[in-house]
Amino acid sequence: MAGHEVVIAGGGVAGIAAAVELSRKGVRVCLVEAKRRLGGRATSFVDSGTGETLDNCQHVALGCCTNYIALCERLGVMDQFDWYPEQYWVEAGGQTSIIAPGRLPAPLHYAGSFHRAAFLSLTEKIAIARGMVNISLSSREMYRDVTFGQYLVMGEQPAGAIAKFWSPIVVSACNMHVERVCAATALKVFQDGFLKGKSAGVMGVPKVPLVRLYDRAMELVEDSGGRIMLGTSVEVLDGNGVTLSSGEQVCADRVICALPIERAMKVVRTDESDTRLSAAAEVTFSPILGVHLEFDRPVLGYPHAVLVNRPTQWLFRKDAEGRRIHAVISAAEEWMRLDEEEILRAVVADIRACFPESNRAMLQWGRAVKERRATFAATPGFEALRNAITALGPHARGVTGSRGAGVGVILAGDYTNTGWPPTMEGATMSGLCAAAAAMQTTPWNP
């Protein structure tokens, strides 16, 4: 068939970002996605029991996620988010602390709410304040070889501060426990999400199923003369195009692989001088558990809640009354062996512990969604290899050509060297980097 200027394999956030960026620059794109919906892991599915559209797991945007926010603006979906400057931290028994920016300028804007936070002791508050000063002065490059847990020990952080504050933030943002995650990755979270400015930590929660955020992408691609092929699997991918499971070939001047890394390892064909995928072969994964719940009466009065010192980490209210809740457990290795009944029982127990009035509520329906390969594991070992995983292979830098000659496969995905944890922001950045490489502009320099 006739070639497209750029073919993109993979319709997750990275592939969408690349397709939208290229389309708005007038480049003709063919986006190929194996599923019948866009979004990759950050999307939705139709529950077979209820017929409802449910998210795999709750995803949020922060104010510091500037590239993802810009993508949402281009997709015209910013009005589909609710934005919250405050976080509700709830202890067993129901005592609630609100962490929110105050009148002081950054990086002191959280000082007032931390001073009032009931879930932390005075000793823990002083330690956290000292830790934030250290983080603001720390160079991430110096801590690529240690875990964030080791960094906290070096900073003399008490166990209570780690368990009640540092760990919940890191687990939610990086999907890894502090004992495993690379310190440089965790430092990025606090430097950009907490200390950079008052709006950096503002949290945007989608009001609609995630899949609906991407509808506009199809229109943007088609308006530029391109197309999106859903329900179509890629079997072979190289610098000249892709071969589909049907045997059809789609040729292109440039080829972007935005597939999950485990899939990319199976289908990408590159020359022996390209070491990016051999580096990416070291990727391991960390699971996330999303749990949808519906009660017969309201149980959650806040729009969201962090449960202090509980196995269930976050709750999100999914209706106006607080009867429908989405619970999130990140770094959920220990939960993967549980069946759905055991999961529901454990999550409901955490809800009842932190919201005593919910003891009168009856669970009417629940659904647990396990994502065993939800994100890459940002360990020190992997971060040491990550700089090698770029959009363009080293042999292709500065080389031009047609039909992929001298360019090879362009990589996109949150596992590439964006400098970010595995987030929608990191995926978006990688897609923009890939688009720049496809247009032979300056590659992204995170």
Structure confidence at residue 222 (pLDDT): 95
Mean pLDDT of 2-19: 91
Rg of the chain taking only CA atoms, in angstroms? 22
The Cα–Cα gap between 290 and 138 comes to: 34
Residue showing tokens 């995650």? 181
- Residue of 83, 66, 85, 64 whose CA lies nearest to 74: 66
Kindly report, residue by residue over 234-285, the tens digit of the pLDDT: 999 999 999 999 999 999 999 999 999 999 999 999 887 888 988 888 899 9
**Among the ranges given (40-54, 139-153, 410-424), the one the predictor scored with the smallest mean pLDDT:** 40-54
DSSP letter for each residue of 36-57: SSSBTTS-EEE-TTT--EEESS
Report the run of H or E that residue 430 belongs to, with start and end: helix 424-438
**CA 348 to mean position of chain CA atoms:** 25
The Cα–Cα gap between 388 and 397 comes to: 13
pLDDT at 393 over 90: no
> What's the token pair of residue 226?
């391109």
The Cα–Cα gap between 357 and 349 comes to: 12
Kindly report, residue by residue over 325-367, the tens digit of the pLDDT: 999 999 999 999 999 999 999 999 999 999 999 999 999 999 9
Structure confidence at residue 278 (pLDDT): 86
First and final C-alpha spacing in the chain: 37
Structure confidence at residue 396 (pLDDT): 53
pLDDT at 405 over 90: no
The Cα–Cα gap between 134 and 120 comes to: 19
pLDDT at 403 over 70: no
The Cα–Cα gap between 15 and 343 comes to: 33
Mean pLDDT of 14-43: 95
Mean pLDDT estimate for the chain: 93
Report residue 420's pLDDT band, with 50, 70 and 90 as the boundaries: very high
Structure confidence at residue 296 (pLDDT): 97
Structure confidence at residue 4 (pLDDT): 76
Report residue 443's pLDDT band, with 50, 70 and 90 as the boundaries: very low
Kindly report, residue by residue over 172-229, the tens digit of the pLDDT: 999 999 999 999 999 999 999 999 999 999 999 999 999 999 999 999 999 999 999 9
Structure confidence at residue 110 (pLDDT): 94
Kindly report, residue by residue over 64-74, the tens digit of the pLDDT: 999 999 999 99
Report residue 3's pLDDT band, with 50, 70 and 90 as the boundaries: low
The Cα–Cα gap between 386 and 126 comes to: 35
pLDDT at 397 over 70: no
Structure confidence at residue 49 (pLDDT): 84
Structure confidence at residue 441 (pLDDT): 58
Structure confidence at residue 281 (pLDDT): 86
Structure confidence at residue 280 (pLDDT): 86
Structure confidence at residue 402 (pLDDT): 45
Question: 10 Å Cβ neighbour count for 26?
Answer: 9
Kindly report, residue by residue over 276-317, the tens digit of the pLDDT: 988 888 899 999 999 999 999 999 999 999 999 999 999 999
In the chain, % of residues over pLDDT 70: 95
